[in-house]
Amino acid sequence: MKYGVVLRPKPTRTVTGDAYTIREEEGSVLLGLADGLGSGDEAARASRLAVACIEEHAFLPLIDILQRCHFALRNTRGVVLGLLRIDFGAGQVRFAGVGNIGIYALTREPFHPISYNGIVGYRLPRVHEFVAPYYPGDLFVLYSDGINGAFHGNENLLRTGQDPQEIAETIARIYGRPDDDVSVLVAR
Protein backbone atom coordinates (compact mmCIF):
# COMPACT_ATOMS: atom_id res chain seq x y z
CA MET A 1 0.00 0.00 0.00
CA LYS A 2 1.20 3.52 -0.79
CA TYR A 3 0.32 6.73 1.06
CA GLY A 4 0.28 10.45 0.55
CA VAL A 5 -0.06 13.07 3.29
CA VAL A 6 -0.34 16.84 3.40
CA LEU A 7 -0.62 18.77 6.67
CA ARG A 8 -0.62 22.56 6.38
CA PRO A 9 -1.28 25.07 9.16
CA LYS A 10 -3.73 27.92 8.91
CA PRO A 11 -1.85 30.83 7.29
CA THR A 12 -1.76 32.85 10.54
CA ARG A 13 -0.26 29.92 12.51
CA THR A 14 3.10 28.19 12.59
CA VAL A 15 1.73 24.84 13.79
CA THR A 16 -1.13 22.74 12.46
CA GLY A 17 -3.89 21.54 14.75
CA ASP A 18 -4.19 18.34 12.69
CA ALA A 19 -2.25 15.08 13.07
CA TYR A 20 -2.26 11.64 11.50
CA THR A 21 -0.95 8.14 11.96
CA ILE A 22 -0.32 5.20 9.66
CA ARG A 23 0.18 1.93 11.56
CA GLU A 24 1.13 -1.02 9.43
CA GLU A 25 0.76 -4.37 11.16
CA GLU A 26 1.17 -7.80 9.67
CA GLY A 27 -1.72 -8.15 7.23
CA SER A 28 -3.41 -4.80 7.94
CA VAL A 29 -2.98 -1.05 8.16
CA LEU A 30 -4.68 1.47 10.46
CA LEU A 31 -5.01 5.08 9.33
CA GLY A 32 -6.07 7.83 11.70
CA LEU A 33 -6.68 11.52 11.06
CA ALA A 34 -7.36 13.92 13.94
CA ASP A 35 -8.32 17.60 13.74
CA GLY A 36 -8.03 19.48 17.05
CA LEU A 37 -10.79 21.99 17.62
CA GLY A 38 -9.73 25.47 16.60
CA SER A 39 -6.15 25.99 15.53
CA GLY A 40 -2.72 26.61 17.02
CA ASP A 41 -0.90 25.04 19.95
CA GLU A 42 -3.90 23.75 21.94
CA ALA A 43 -5.46 22.16 18.86
CA ALA A 44 -2.08 20.60 18.04
CA ARG A 45 -1.76 19.24 21.57
CA ALA A 46 -5.18 17.58 21.36
CA SER A 47 -4.54 16.04 17.94
CA ARG A 48 -1.10 14.74 19.01
CA LEU A 49 -2.65 13.14 22.11
CA ALA A 50 -5.29 11.51 19.91
CA VAL A 51 -2.62 10.05 17.63
CA ALA A 52 -0.65 8.74 20.62
CA CYS A 53 -3.81 7.07 21.94
CA ILE A 54 -4.57 5.52 18.53
CA GLU A 55 -1.06 4.13 18.31
CA GLU A 56 -1.20 2.74 21.85
CA HIS A 57 -4.50 0.97 21.20
CA ALA A 58 -4.11 0.16 17.49
CA PHE A 59 -4.87 -3.52 18.07
CA LEU A 60 -8.40 -2.80 19.37
CA PRO A 61 -11.61 -2.54 17.28
CA LEU A 62 -12.19 0.97 15.91
CA ILE A 63 -15.08 1.79 18.25
CA ASP A 64 -12.93 0.85 21.25
CA ILE A 65 -10.09 3.06 20.00
CA LEU A 66 -12.52 5.99 19.73
CA GLN A 67 -13.73 5.39 23.29
CA ARG A 68 -10.17 5.22 24.64
CA CYS A 69 -9.32 8.46 22.84
CA HIS A 70 -12.46 10.08 24.23
CA PHE A 71 -11.35 9.43 27.81
CA ALA A 72 -7.73 10.39 27.09
CA LEU A 73 -8.77 13.77 25.64
CA ARG A 74 -11.26 14.93 28.29
CA ASN A 75 -8.95 17.70 29.52
CA THR A 76 -8.23 19.08 26.04
CA ARG A 77 -10.17 21.02 23.43
CA GLY A 78 -11.08 17.68 21.87
CA VAL A 79 -10.76 16.50 18.31
CA VAL A 80 -12.75 15.22 15.40
CA LEU A 81 -11.35 11.87 14.38
CA GLY A 82 -11.53 9.36 11.55
CA LEU A 83 -10.17 5.80 11.70
CA LEU A 84 -9.78 3.49 8.70
CA ARG A 85 -8.53 -0.09 8.97
CA ILE A 86 -7.73 -2.18 5.91
CA ASP A 87 -7.43 -5.89 6.61
CA PHE A 88 -5.70 -7.39 3.59
CA GLY A 89 -6.09 -11.01 4.71
CA ALA A 90 -9.83 -10.71 5.33
CA GLY A 91 -10.32 -8.48 2.28
CA GLN A 92 -12.18 -5.89 4.37
CA VAL A 93 -12.08 -2.19 5.04
CA ARG A 94 -13.58 -0.63 8.18
CA PHE A 95 -14.27 3.01 9.03
CA ALA A 96 -15.47 4.80 12.15
CA GLY A 97 -15.48 8.56 12.59
CA VAL A 98 -16.64 11.37 14.85
CA GLY A 99 -17.07 14.96 13.70
CA ASN A 100 -16.29 16.52 10.37
CA ILE A 101 -13.45 14.28 9.23
CA GLY A 102 -14.40 13.36 5.70
CA ILE A 103 -13.78 10.11 3.89
CA TYR A 104 -13.97 9.38 0.22
CA ALA A 105 -13.56 5.86 -1.14
CA LEU A 106 -13.05 5.02 -4.79
CA THR A 107 -13.54 1.28 -4.57
CA ARG A 108 -14.59 -1.64 -6.69
CA GLU A 109 -17.74 -2.05 -4.57
CA PRO A 110 -19.62 1.00 -3.21
CA PHE A 111 -18.41 2.20 0.20
CA HIS A 112 -19.93 5.42 1.56
CA PRO A 113 -19.22 5.66 5.29
CA ILE A 114 -19.92 8.78 7.32
CA SER A 115 -18.66 10.37 10.52
CA TYR A 116 -21.12 11.01 13.34
CA ASN A 117 -21.62 14.46 14.87
CA GLY A 118 -19.65 14.89 18.06
CA ILE A 119 -16.28 15.73 19.56
CA VAL A 120 -13.86 13.13 20.87
CA GLY A 121 -13.00 14.29 24.39
CA TYR A 122 -16.22 16.25 24.86
CA ARG A 123 -19.32 14.51 23.45
CA LEU A 124 -18.86 11.06 21.98
CA PRO A 125 -21.94 9.94 20.06
CA ARG A 126 -23.00 6.37 19.44
CA VAL A 127 -20.78 5.47 16.50
CA HIS A 128 -21.32 2.84 13.84
CA GLU A 129 -18.45 1.00 12.18
CA PHE A 130 -18.86 0.76 8.42
CA VAL A 131 -17.52 -2.41 6.79
CA ALA A 132 -17.03 -3.25 3.11
CA PRO A 133 -14.96 -5.54 0.91
CA TYR A 134 -11.45 -4.38 0.08
CA TYR A 135 -9.74 -5.01 -3.26
CA PRO A 136 -6.15 -4.13 -4.19
CA GLY A 137 -6.11 -0.79 -5.99
CA ASP A 138 -8.99 0.70 -3.97
CA LEU A 139 -8.35 4.37 -3.10
CA PHE A 140 -9.20 6.04 0.23
CA VAL A 141 -8.99 9.72 1.15
CA LEU A 142 -9.36 10.98 4.73
CA TYR A 143 -9.54 14.77 5.03
CA SER A 144 -10.23 17.56 7.51
CA ASP A 145 -12.77 20.35 7.16
CA GLY A 146 -9.94 22.42 5.70
CA ILE A 147 -10.56 20.54 2.44
CA ASN A 148 -13.56 21.24 0.22
CA GLY A 149 -15.18 17.88 -0.59
CA ALA A 150 -15.77 18.97 -4.20
CA PHE A 151 -12.75 16.86 -5.20
CA HIS A 152 -15.04 13.80 -5.02
CA GLY A 153 -16.21 14.51 -8.55
CA ASN A 154 -12.73 14.95 -10.00
CA GLU A 155 -12.39 11.54 -11.63
CA ASN A 156 -9.35 12.66 -13.66
CA LEU A 157 -7.48 13.16 -10.39
CA LEU A 158 -8.75 10.12 -8.52
CA ARG A 159 -8.89 7.47 -11.24
CA THR A 160 -5.39 8.03 -12.56
CA GLY A 161 -2.42 5.90 -11.64
CA GLN A 162 -0.90 8.92 -9.91
CA ASP A 163 1.16 8.38 -6.79
CA PRO A 164 -0.93 8.95 -3.62
CA GLN A 165 1.44 11.76 -2.54
CA GLU A 166 0.75 13.61 -5.80
CA ILE A 167 -2.99 13.11 -5.29
CA ALA A 168 -2.79 14.45 -1.71
CA GLU A 169 -0.79 17.49 -2.84
CA THR A 170 -3.21 18.23 -5.67
CA ILE A 171 -6.25 17.95 -3.39
CA ALA A 172 -4.62 20.27 -0.82
CA ARG A 173 -3.57 22.80 -3.46
CA ILE A 174 -6.86 22.97 -5.37
CA TYR A 175 -9.42 22.17 -2.66
CA GLY A 176 -7.70 23.39 0.51
CA ARG A 177 -9.38 26.26 2.31
CA PRO A 178 -7.19 29.33 2.76
CA ASP A 179 -8.55 30.10 6.26
CA ASP A 180 -8.08 26.76 8.06
CA ASP A 181 -5.63 23.99 8.82
CA VAL A 182 -5.51 21.58 5.90
CA SER A 183 -4.98 17.85 6.18
CA VAL A 184 -5.44 15.08 3.66
CA LEU A 185 -4.33 11.44 3.84
CA VAL A 186 -4.51 9.26 0.72
CA ALA A 187 -4.02 5.47 0.63
CA ARG A 188 -3.99 3.20 -2.41
Report d(CA 188, CA 186) in Å as an integer. Answer: 7
At residue 155 the predicted structure's pLDDT band, cuts being 50, 70 and 90, is confident
Q: What is the pTM of this model?
A: 0.95
| Contact of 88 with 43, CB cutoff 8 Å | no
Burial of 62 (0-12, 13-18, 19+ CB in 10 A): buried
What is the structure's pLDDT at 141?
97
Report d(CA 41, CA 54) in Å as an integer. Answer: 20
Q: Please say if the pLDDT value at position 160 is more than 80.
A: no
Average pLDDT, the chain: 94
Average pLDDT over residues 70-89: 97
Average pLDDT over residues 65-77: 96
Average pLDDT over residues 164-187: 95
At residue 174 the predicted structure's pLDDT band, cuts being 50, 70 and 90, is very high
What is the structure's pLDDT at 37?
94
What is the structure's pLDDT at 156?
80
φ and ψ at residue 183, rounded to 5 degrees: -145, 140
The 10s digit of each residue's pLDDT in 107-123 is 999 999 999 999 999 99
The 10s digit of each residue's pLDDT in 20-69 is 999 999 899 999 999 999 888 999 999 999 999 999 999 999 999 999 99
φ and ψ at residue 27, rounded to 5 degrees: 85, 0
Length of the chain: 188
Report d(CA 94, CA 65) in Å as an integer. Answer: 13
SS3 at position 152: helix
